[in-house]
Structure 1
Amino acid sequence: MSERPTRVQPARQVAYDVISAVRESDAYANLLLPTRIVRAGLSPADAGLATELTYGTLRMQGYYDRVIAIAAGRPIDKIDAPILDVLRLGAHQLLSTRVAPHAAVNESVALARMVGSRSTTGFTNGVLREIGRHTPEEWRQRILAAAKNQDDELASVSSHPVWVVRAFRRALEAEGRGAELEELLAADNVAPRVNLIALPGLADAPEGSTPDRYSPPGFTAGGGDPQALVEANDGRVRVQDEGSQLAALALSRARPILPGERWLDLCAGPGGKAALLAAEALTGGATLVANEVVPARAELVRRALAPVPLDVEVWERDGTTIGASHPEAFDRILLDAPCTGLGALRRRPEARWRKTPRDVAELTALQTRLLDSAVDALAPGGVLAYVTCSPHIGETRGIIADALDRHDDLEALSTAEVVQQLAVERLDLADDVLHAQLWPHRHGTDAMFIALLTKNAPAEERD
């Protein structure tokens, strides 16, 4: 019998703690993991291992659950939750990493000894040894054989809920690109590159960095800690997905800025797009108001805006009421609407297990109220950018179509043309003129949806 560790290796302990917190308290792995790595004093190598174990386990959780159920001979809801977390972590090491099988099993048994009873320790050992008896490809074939239908097959091996698979298929089919579904699902399970932005007019990309393909101020900087680069530039260089950059720039560069324009970021938290808009407003002589209803997120917005030498007022108001309190007060409005976040599953893998179709219904109702408020707050001739980090048709095309039906004075602009004109390289937007839907598999960005709208002056004013 191999020697079993008396204590858990620190990287695995950190990974387990984060995975457990995600399950128990809906923690966000991307926020909690860096804190736990620092607290544990992990070396760069151990920090890398903890990151891979955490995100890899969370991404493929659905697939591993199916493997565990077969290996254990029981449904996963009959397994104690802490032990299930241990098994998921062990399954990831056995099926998707180069970790030696004996190390994966022994470390997992040590974890089980910490969080469970003597019987669960033996159970953990038995389940993981059963998993290790078969190759990853053998497990893949067994899981496929147990699937109920084609959608379930895709959901199982790509580790997405079935309803998300179907939502992605509908969104791609709306572009005539349904054949890209498997490529999209695979892209969701690849760790995204760390992308940064040098705020226009305030900073430049460092020497040796690689410019983004599409966003003019975006770049990647290779390896190393991006936070060090952020701090060295006093926050005027910051981490931001290229798709988020394009969404904000679509508003600020939709047409030339006239000095004195009034801009509003209606749902500004945590502040990344607000900082970019502030830099653009500063260059063009516009003013900006950033609104965020949640006080803690409003404080994040203030921190994000601090590096920009523009006096930005930060409100903490219900965005659905601003149209009534400030009718036709703003020339440009960004509505980065609360959404399911299905477009950012690469960087927030746990989100796929938290959302349900019921969430879509609740969010689309809120998105509708916020969009109506934004339309009311938009000055005639102004530009409104509706943005979501979700490709779900209910949160994207459906919301825009309904808004155009409700508001006679609202008109869709050629969003694709605006985005193509500002982009460094031409994007493949699938011949969609009125919207710009970005995709991780096609563009290397989060699946951001962008739609630009304008408000026409009343008929009597146009005559």
Structure 2
Amino acid sequence: MRVDPARLAAYEAVRAVRVDGAYTNLVLPSILRRHGLSGRDAGFVTELVSGSVRGQGLYDAVLTASIDRPLRKVEAAVVDALRLGVHQLLAMRVPPHAALSTTVDLVRSISGPGAAGFANAVLRRVAQHDLDAWITQVADDADPTRRLATATSHPIWVVNELRQSLGGAAEEELEALLRADNEPPRVTLVARPGRVTRDELGGEPTPWSPYGATLAGGDPAAVPAVAEGRAGVQDEGSQLVAHAAATASLDGAPGAAGPDRTWLDLCAGPGGKSALLAGLADAAGARLVAVEKQVHRARLVARNLDGAAGVAGVLAADGVRPPFRPASFDRVLVDAPCTGLGALRRRPEARWRRRPDDLLQLVLLQRALVNSALDLVRPGGVVLYATCSPVVAETAEVVSSLLAQRDDVSLGDLTPVLEPLGMTRVEGSLPGTVQLWPHRHGTDAMFMALLRRH
């Protein structure tokens, strides 16, 4: 039996996410190419995969209510296909008969006729109600946190962490944030300075970043500047991190800012921010060194920086124990490994992959990386610490801990960097820090803190 190529491609992607630990946005392009899918078909597969991964918690609750056995006892491959079917039935404009028949065909191809009959019966039960009715049924819980977690398809611990990150904001804002996590992000491009202008990218200029443009749709690789490496795909929040690292004022001797010639990106992989920083460094008469611990990611950085001016070198090295003399750099960016809970729009699998136990090891690494960066920056220089997570343990608490331990460091004010861009409501929980939000700014939930070395 011939299976619809789009559904088969979607199944291969969600299976790679589950079995291989793949990231949705990274695994999809190669699968789409292998199946020869482009244009509307590629867009359909992208929404089908991302939506089913985003909605996994809610969809599993719907399936549990529609099956006469525990979901864990159903073959994992069949569950993957059923989630794809549920997303089509409840959240996409796919006719019910088409969603049902194509999913049953898919299940038959991967698990045989018995499983296909089971899938047919389950999806017919699912199709009896729309999404709102199912949410009302499966999110009927006396505990408001559990109810909100199910309705917005987030793990409970993530809901609690985001509530704390919002600093006591009203529950309505928490719900707005969780719902924003489930909105597919627009494709945002970045023009790499000195290589292409924003006007050449087409699309609509980003509201905050002076380097970005958003596309209404289509394949970004079809934009010549992207295909040639002169531009890239990058969230506006990440563009603002590079902008802040490059433009924050330096402190030097009285009446002078001191040198501003050597910049360092200490956690550079896969190289998107490095590529923007390199262009900004070249415009400022400086040179950028990019460091990435993992060799394969260092190669990605080198590929992103290929042909860029303003690059002094790319090294595969440990940022905690880097091969540089102390006080060698004027600016250092530490875009540290984190839970990624601020980028759930683009990496929906992170909400299911991360665990509360991950926080301790990540926080220890974040502190070590920032300490290393502070040793590498000269007196009067700056370190920009950034995470794509709003979790307090990874943001304000990391910064507060370092300020308490080091008497040669102070917290700078990032407000003068972002205010000229027209941004409002960016203040983090520590004065001078910045916290961006998808529901407020339309960006990933990026955190930034500016640390000055005395």
Structure 2 counterpart SS, 1:142: helix
Q: 1:70 to 1:265 in 2, by over 3 A?
A: same
Alignment counterpart, residue 13 of structure 1, candidates 8, 30, 44: 8
Alignment counterpart, residue 141 of structure 1, candidates 113, 136, 141: 136
Which digits, 9 at most, give the CA deviation of each residue in 1:184-222, with x for residues without a partner? 111111110111121223321235532211111212243
Q: 1:28 to 1:85 in 2, by over 3 A?
A: same
Residue of structure 1 equivalent to 2:176? 183
Q: 1:193 to 1:247 in 2, by over 3 A?
A: same
TM-score by length of 2: 0.94
Q: 1:391 to 1:92 in 2, by over 3 A?
A: same
Q: 2:195 aligned with 1:202, yes or no?
A: yes
Q: 1:232 to 1:249 in 2, by over 3 A?
A: closer
Alignment counterpart, residue 193 of structure 1, candidates 183, 186, 189: 186
Residue of structure 2 equivalent to 1:427? 424
Residue of structure 2 equivalent to 1:247? 241
Code of the residue aligned with 2:355 in structure 1: it is T
Q: 2:218 aligned with 1:224, yes or no?
A: yes
Once the two structures are aligned, what percentage of the paired residues are identical?
47
- 1:141 CA drift (Å): 1.1
Q: Distance in 2 between matches of 1:233 and 1:296?
A: 21
Q: How does 1:43-192 map to 2 (within 5 A)?
A: 43-145=38-140, 147=141, 149-173=143-167, 176=169, 179-192=172-185
Q: 1:167 to 1:229 in 2, by over 3 A?
A: same
Residue of structure 2 equivalent to 1:416? 415
Query: Unpaired runs of 5+ in structure 2?
Result: 251-256
Code of the residue aligned with 1:402 in structure 2: it is S
Alignment counterpart, residue 28 of structure 1, candidates 12, 15, 23: 23
Q: 1:70 to 1:178 in 2, by over 3 A?
A: closer
Query: How many aligned residue pairs are there?
Result: 446
Q: Is the 8 A contact 1:172 1:178 kept in 2?
A: no
Q: Distance in 2 between matches of 1:128 and 1:120?
A: 12
Q: Distance in 2 between matches of 1:148 and 1:261?
A: 59
Q: Distance in 1 between matches of 2:387 and 2:30?
A: 28
Q: Distance in 1 between matches of 2:188 and 2:113?
A: 46
Q: 1:164 to 1:205 in 2, by over 3 A?
A: same
Q: Distance in 2 between matches of 1:273 and 1:140?
A: 39
Q: Is the 8 A contact 1:331 1:379 kept in 2?
A: yes
Q: Distance in 1 between matches of 2:294 and 2:170?
A: 38
Code of the residue aligned with 1:290 in structure 2: it is A
- 1:259 CA drift (Å): 5.9
Residue of structure 1 equivalent to 2:437? 439
Q: Is the 8 A contact 1:378 1:455 kept in 2?
A: yes
Code of the residue aligned with 1:196 in structure 2: it is L
Q: 1:233 to 1:65 in 2, by over 3 A?
A: closer
Residue of structure 2 equivalent to 1:345? 344
Q: Is the 8 A contact 2:107 2:119 kept in 1?
A: yes
Q: Is the 8 A contact 1:434 1:451 kept in 2?
A: yes
Code of the residue aligned with 2:188 in structure 1: it is N
- 1:385 CA drift (Å): 0.2
Code of the residue aligned with 1:121 in structure 2: it is A
Q: Distance in 2 between matches of 1:117 and 1:202?
A: 53
Residue of structure 1 equivalent to 2:280? 280
Q: 1:111 to 1:437 in 2, by over 3 A?
A: same
Q: 1:221 to 1:112 in 2, by over 3 A?
A: closer
Q: Distance in 1 between matches of 2:425 and 2:179?
A: 19
Residue of structure 2 equivalent to 1:405? 404
Which digits, 9 at most, give the CA deviation of each residue in 1:75-129, with x for residues without a partner? 2211110111111111111111121212211111111112214332221111111
Structure 2 counterpart SS, 1:453: strand
Q: Distance in 2 between matches of 1:414 and 1:206?
A: 31
Residue of structure 1 equivalent to 2:207? 213
Which digits, 9 at most, give the CA deviation of each residue in 1:361-389, with x for residues without a partner? 11111111111111111111110000000
Q: Distance in 2 between matches of 1:334 and 1:204?
A: 24
Residue of structure 2 equivalent to 1:448? 446
Instruction: Identify the range of structure 1 (70-79 vs 290-299) with the bigger mean alpha-carbon deviation.
Output: 70-79
Structure 2 counterpart SS, 1:197: strand
Q: 1:260 to 1:247 in 2, by over 3 A?
A: closer
- 1:278 CA drift (Å): 0.8
TM-score by length of 1: 0.92
Q: Distance in 2 between matches of 1:111 and 1:395?
A: 42
